[in-house]
Structure formats: C-alpha cells, structure tokens
C-alpha cells in the first residue's frame, strides 16, 4: 500500500511565533538580514553569493524582468529573470541589469566628431543615456576627443545636422582619470571638481570607461544594494531542462550571476541531467539552484546532483493550481520544516551547508519571517512583487480599483510548456493548466513596500530575541493554532470605521 506520512500538511497560517526575551541589544536597527544563497562550508569559507535581504523574485513572466531585477537588487534582494521567453530576449534583460550601473562603465554610447546632433538624439533614445563619448573612431575604446552631455546642445536653437565637433566639450576642457585609478579615488575627483562623470583613459589617451556621479549617489541612497566585484548589480536568471545547452551559455555571457532551474516538480532526472551538463562544461564556476521539492528525498537528490541551493514548495503559490489538477504537493510550512531538517542532516554529515529557498505560500508579511524561522534561508515571492510599478505587467482600473495583471507560469497565457513537460522534446503544448490568470491589487513602488515588509520582519525577529536569521532559526518557538485562534488574531467583535477600512 502507499506510504502515508503521519504529519499533517500545514501552512504558515496555522502557526504563530512565541516571543523570547528581548534585551537591550535586540532592536530593529541591530538586525542583520543578510543570508547565503549558495552552498558553502560553515566555519571554513564564506558563501560565494550573499544577499542583503532574504527575498528573491519568482521566475515568472508577470514578475521578474529587467526593471524589477534592477529595483530589487538596488534594495538588497535578488531577481531571477524569467526563462519562458526566447534565449536572446532573456539574455538582453540580463545585460540591461548588468549595464544599469557599475564602478567603471564601458561606454555604450559613442560617436565621432563627424556625427551630427541627429545621431546624438537617436543614440539617446536607443540607450537612454545622455552622456556620449566622442572618440576618434566612434568606438568604446577609441582615442578620446571629448564628450557630449545634454548641457552641450539646445534642440530649439540648433539644427539636427550640426556636427558633433561644433558643440562637444573637447578633451582639453575635461577632467579625466588615468587607467589604474581605483573607484574611491575616481569618486574623490568627481566631487572635488564638481563634475557628473569622469572619463578614464590609458597612457595613449584611449577611452577605458566612465565613472558616474549618479552611481555613487544612488549607492549612498541604497546601502544594501547587491553589487558584484565590478560594482554592477547582481541578477539571477531562470533556466529549464530542455534548451539549457543553448540558454546557459547565453546567460553566462550576458553576465548572470546565478541560475535556477524553473520547474513545478524538481525531483526529476531531467534536473540532474541539466546540472551534470553545467558541471561538465563549467565546473563549479557557474552557480545553479534547483527545485522545487517538498521532502528530504527530493532535497538529497538535487544536492547529490550538484545543486548550489534547493527551492522548496509545490502548489502553494497564489496562482498555482497544481494541487487541484494533479493532487501533488504539500503545505508550505510542512515542506519547509521537512527540507530544513534534511538540510541540517546533510550539513552534519558532510560539513556543507546548502541553503534552501521557500517558494510560495506567503499571504501576509509575517509569513516571510515564519518561513525563515522554520529553516528557510531566503524566500521567493511572486504575487508580492507583481503588485509593484517595476513589474512588467499592465496597471488597470477594474471596478474602481487599480490592479496589476498576474498569471502563473502554468497558465495558458504563459505558454510555458517547457516548465511542465518531461524529457527533451515531449509535450510541446500544455494539455491542461496548472496556473490561473488573475489580478493583484496595485501597491506602488517596490522600495517603499519592501522597506515596510522588512521593518515588520526586523520587529518580529526582535520579539523572538534574534538579530540574525541564524539566531532566529535557533531560538524560534512555534505553536500550532486552531481555526478559532485565527479569527481571534484579527480585528473582531467591533465595528470598524470607514477611514480605517480604507487604510
């Protein structure tokens, strides 16, 4: 007969945290929310990828494009650019994130002195950049002759055929830095001379790159932002188990920092084959997560295959109907607890700590902290991020309320057969849906909402006597609650004022 698990399948909504002693140190400003994303040997080495906030965005068309990836990385979280699109388009999104800012930027907006104002305006429209390098041959590394910024021309008083040489700021009027200068020294020069950009040139006068004042200012405004060694924003990207031999090289070339196999059920030989191919081609230089699983067996299978982290959760997403359609899955709280136990056992056995990501089942902000307390190292959110300005979907007015579109990767709208088909070329159409097409309430800017959610998380952790995620997992005490307790936990037995309802 079938194996029956004795433990009930439970959700985050069925638990509450019991407070621990709060002392003088357990204050929100002392809480550190950074966490490891990929495996490492605790006590002997650091994880090769850490994030400042324990949140990632879901690998979904309606959530994780380049604009959301930029906004989330600037706030300290990590996005995985969605994979259910052509390889070149996904790689272009990754490039946009990596080019958004950097300590030393390779100029992608360049002209010769013989180009015209019309060429400048066209380039600005294409790249969105108002600073144009003028080089001898019009290349990014040609001999620098000057620059053009929006201060150098007035469209209303110039004809579009005016040569660049007539209105550019020439080299002898520029402040430049020499190749080999570090970022701190470059920023000092920018501030000392009150300029907005500093061209960096080599000994022969060829342009090496540019350092921008706005990048320094933005970093001061976003101290938790995720940056690589070249001061570029960090981003992840999703892959599948079908075209990975083409998609992975393209994403690595575009600059993706970490990959994750996107699947509703990760306990599969196809994921093992995908990871094995990546290891054969790239060794351990490419970071790749796998999933999703809901038990110890699934976790161990993916870790043995070589996964750098494991994603947990089947059927818990707000737009996911996998449990209804196929009858597989597990309550998200129970899944996280089971996989966390397996993760800890693996660590005791091998000395290698493999982070786990809780994916799905988050309804209220406190559920994020609950997932971490139960053992997740970070969480993945879809509905939460889909509500914001930076997500790729349309904002609509429906029945007097602003909403944003949100659909599952298993819906017909996503047309993501690769996520649900098995094998190399099977099932190139979806026989049935595992996701729905829906709306979510529009919520405004990502940073404003994420700051509020993280403030709640820090306050909850303080109530649990914890200043880090590790401490939270060690100290957390949980109690199972009844349906009546859930009712008691909200506003009840009162008549709420209309103004309060609106807020």
- Where does 220-339 show beta strands of DSSP type E? 236-239, 258-261, 288-293, 309-312
Q: How far, in Å, CA of 386 to CA of 374, rounded?
A: 25
Nearest to 384 by CA among 357, 410, 404: 404
Name 122's bridge partners. none
Tokens of 263: 């699947």
For the question of residue 419 being annotated catalytic, the response is: yes
Report the C-alpha gap between 487 and 503 in whole angstroms: 20
Q: How far apart are CA 222 and CA 213, in angstroms?
A: 14
With beta carbons less than 8 A apart as the criterion, state whether 11 and 331 touch: yes
Among candidate residues 260, 320, 330, 464, the one labeled active-site is: 320
> What does the buried/exposed string (b/e) look like for 273-308 if buried means 16 or more CB atoms within 10 Å of the residue's CB?
ebbeebeeeeeeebbbbbbbbbbbebbbbbbebbbb
Q: Out of 74, 343, 419, 458, which one is annotated catalytic?
A: 419
- Return d(Cα 64, Cα 388) in angstroms, integer: 11
**Beta-carbon neighbour count of residue 496 at 10 Å?**
8
Separation between Cα atoms, residue 473 and residue 371, nearest integer Å:
10
DSSP track, 376-443: -SEEEESHHHHTBTTSSSPEEEETTEEEEEEE-TTSTTTT-HHHH--SSS---S-SS-SB-EEEEE--
Q: Estimate the crossing angle of helix 244-254 against helix 269-282, to 10 degrees.
A: 50
The dihedral of CA 277, 278, 283, 289: what is its sign? negative
Please give the structure tokens belonging to residue 479: 């109690």
The separation between CA 65 and the C-alpha centre of its own chain, rounded to angstroms, equals 9
Q: Report residue 300 as tokens.
A: 């161990």
Q: How many angstroms separate the CA atoms of 419 and 25, rounded?
A: 46
User: Residue 440 contacts by C-beta under 8 Å, 6 or more apart in sequence?
Assistant: 318, 383, 386, 387, 403, 404, 406
> Could you tell me what percentage of the chain is helix, strand and coil, using 3-state DSSP and rounding each to the nearest 5?
35, 20, 45
* C-alpha to C-alpha distances, 481 to 387, 404, 486, nearest whole angstrom: 30, 33, 7
Just list the catalytic residues: 320, 419
């Amino acid at each position: 007969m079938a194996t029956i698990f004795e433990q009930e399948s439970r959700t985050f909504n069925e638990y509450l945290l019991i407070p621990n002693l709060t002392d003088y140190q357990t204050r929100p400003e002392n809480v550190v929310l950074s966490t490891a994303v990929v495996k490492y040997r605790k006590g002997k080495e650091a994880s090769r990828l850490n994030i400042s906030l324990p949140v990632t965005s879901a690998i979904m068309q309606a959530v994780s494009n380049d604009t959301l990836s930029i906004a989330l990385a600037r706030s300290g979280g990590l996005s995985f650019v969605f994979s259910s699109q052509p390889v070149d388009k996904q790689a272009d999104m990754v490039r946009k994130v990596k080019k958004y800012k950097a300590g030393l930027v390779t100029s992608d907006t360049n002209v010769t002195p013989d180009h015209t104002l019309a060429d400048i305006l066209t380039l600005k429209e294409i790249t969105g950049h108002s600073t144009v390098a003028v080089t001898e041959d019009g290349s990014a590394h040609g001999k620098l002759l000057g620059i053009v910024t929006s201060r150098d021309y007035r469209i209303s008083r110039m004809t579009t055929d005016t040569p660049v040489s007539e209105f550019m700021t020439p080299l002898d009027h520029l402040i430049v830095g020499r190749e080999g200068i570090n970022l701190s020294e470059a920023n000092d020069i920018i501030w000392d001379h009150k300029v907005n950009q500093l061209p960096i040139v080599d000994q022969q006068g060829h342009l090496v790159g540019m350092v921008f004042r706005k990048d320094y200012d933005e970093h001061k405004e976003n101290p938790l932002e995720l940056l690589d060694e070249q001061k570029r924003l960090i981003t992840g990207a999703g892959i599948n188990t079908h075209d990975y031999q083409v998609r992975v090289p393209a994403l690595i070339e575009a600059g993706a920092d970490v990959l994750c196999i996107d699947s509703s059920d990760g306990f599969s030989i196809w994921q093992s084959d995908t990871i094995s191919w990546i290891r054969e081609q790239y060794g351990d230089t490419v970071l790749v997560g796998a999933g999703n699983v809901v038990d110890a067996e699934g976790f161990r299978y993916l870790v043995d295959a070589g996964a750098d982290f494991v994603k947990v959760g089947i059927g818990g997403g707000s737009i996911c109907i996998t449990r209804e359609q196929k009858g597989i899955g597990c309550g998200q709280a129970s899944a996280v607890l089971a996989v966390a136990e397996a993760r800890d056992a693996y660590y005791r056995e091998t000395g290698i700590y493999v982070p786990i990501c809780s994916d799905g089942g988050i309804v209220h902000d406190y559920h994020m902290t609950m997932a971490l307390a139960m053992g997740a190292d970070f969480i993945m959110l879809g509905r939460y991020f889909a509500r914001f300005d930076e997500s790729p979907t349309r904002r609509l007015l429906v029945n007097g309320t602003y909403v944003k579109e949100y659909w599952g990767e298993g819906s017909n709208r996503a047309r993501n057969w690769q996520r649900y088909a098995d094998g190399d070329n099977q099932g190139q159409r979806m026989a049935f849906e595992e996701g729905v097409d829906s709306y979510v309430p529009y919520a405004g800017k990502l940073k404003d909402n994420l700051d509020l959610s993280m403030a709640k998380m820090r306050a909850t952790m303080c109530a649990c006597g914890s200043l880090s995620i590790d401490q939270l997992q060690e100290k957390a005490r949980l109690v199972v609650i009844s349906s009546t307790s859930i009712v008691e936990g909200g506003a009840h037995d009162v008549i709420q004022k209309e103004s309060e309802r609106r807020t």
